[in-house]
Amino acid sequence: MKASWDIFCSVVDNYGDAGVTWRLARQLVAEHGLQVRLWTDDLSAFARLCPDADPAAVQQRHEGVSVCQWPVQWTDTVVPDAVIEAFACRLPPLYTEAMLQRSPRPLWVNLDYLSAEEWVSGCHGLPSPQSNGLKKFFFFPGFSDATGGLLRERGLVERRQAFQCDEVAQRVFLRGLGIEPLDDARLVSVFAYENPGLGSWLDVLANDERPTHMLVPDGRILGDLQRWLGSELSVGMTRTRGALTVQVLPFVSQAQYDLLLWSCDFNVVRGEDSFVRAQWAGRPMLWHIYQQEDDAHLPKLEAFLALYVDGLTPPAGQALSRLWQGWSVGGNIAEDWKALMMHWPEIERHAERWCLQHAARTDLATALVQFYGNSL
């Protein structure tokens, strides 16, 4: 009999939280044969990730996953073998009461946000006894063997490498999105939050000797692009200034977004889901980390950079770090970008090396299944 799991997701960052839990649910079904329900409080966000979804449906099935609307007023439901509380969302009180009555009690896991901070490995897997008698375990994705690892489907890197070696497949994919890459242009994708310093980078690209074709999925960065261009931007539009061409894409499915990342020479990503997928793309990247009060996000950024620049020469590592740091505070990054370009071949090699290094580790879904098995 298949083990049954519930995953709860309260959407905070529009798509990042929903994206992670949707990928995880699909992988648990496809690769581990589990029976999975995904409870989400924002089906409209989910429907953008899964175009076949009905944002008004109380319950629906996609790729073997039962996707359920998390109701405001909770009703009775059968408690499964394992419960994943994603990103510290609070389970419904009636649900936890039912967990308490179940025999045997389910494994309760708090799947936390991805972090490279040192304290994560010390907290990963620790129990947290609850006042009602239940026990919850902390589970941290991460970049070391002492954490839960990263989400990665079986054969993902091999598929990516094959796609990047197939120019015909890349052209077919891009044309399917209405993209005709410009001759000799640097292909860049930008999926980011608002950034007051964006114009400094755009100025450099517009005045560069090499053309840049910037692909921008519909999202929060469009306002900054419109202000720089001085004209309206919406899905399907293309605008050119100097050597920079900006093309706005529709919000695409997760599978298409992977192919977009794989097709580009440089990817700007945000949140958690696209951050991890950009690493599997094996291409140079920039992470626009989610801004938190009192700059609590900056130590998280520094912790990741400390790991990521390992293996780069000091000048290349410094150039990459300064670009990421400048972007994260909305600063002028014109000179930082120029400095990074001085080390571009090394940055490209490093991106692939980083990907392969972490692909050798146990993936997050498998680590969760192993954790569940050890709890029995």
Along the 376 residues of the chain, how does pLDDT read in single tens digits? Answer: 799 999 999 987 667 788 999 999 999 999 999 999 999 999 998 898 898 999 999 999 999 999 999 998 898 889 999 999 999 899 999 999 999 999 999 999 999 999 999 999 999 999 999 999 999 999 999 999 999 999 999 999 999 999 999 999 999 999 999 999 988 999 999 999 999 999 999 999 999 999 999 999 999 999 999 999 999 999 999 999 999 999 999 989 999 999 999 999 999 999 899 999 999 999 999 999 988 888 888 999 999 999 999 999 999 999 999 999 999 999 999 999 999 999 999 999 999 999 999 999 999 999 999 999 999 8
Q: Among residues 42, 112, 224, 272, which one is catalytic? A: 272
156-359 and 4-150+362-375 share a CATH fold: yes
User: In CATH, what number does 156-359 get?
Assistant: 3.40.50.2000
User: What's domain 4-150+362-375's architecture?
Assistant: 3-Layer(aba) Sandwich (3.40)
Residue spans per domain, the chain: 4-150+362-375, 156-359
Candidates 17, 42, 224, 363; catalytic one: 17
272 is catalytic: yes
In three-state form (DSSP H/G/I as H, E/B as E, the rest C), the secondary structure along the chain is: CCCEEEEEECCCCCCHHHHHHHHHHHHHHHHHCCEEEEEECCHHHHHHHCCCCCCCCCEEEECCEEEEECCCCCCCCCCCCEEEEECCCCCCHHHHHHHHHCCCCCEEEEECCCCCCCHHHHHCCCEEECCCCCEEEEECCCCCCCCCCCCCCCCHHHHHHHHHCCHHHHHHHHHHCCCCCCCCCEEEEECCCCCCCHHHHHHHHHCCCCCEEEEEECCCCHHHHHHHHCCCCCCCCEEEECCEEEEEECCCCHHHHHHHHHHCCEEEEECCHHHHHHHHCCCCEEEECCCCHHHCHHHHHHHHHHHHCCCCCHHHHHHHHHHHHHHHCCCCCHHHHHHHHCCHHHHHHHHHHHHHHHHCCCCHHHHHHHHHHHHC
17 counts as catalytic: yes
**pTM of the full predicted structure?**
0.96
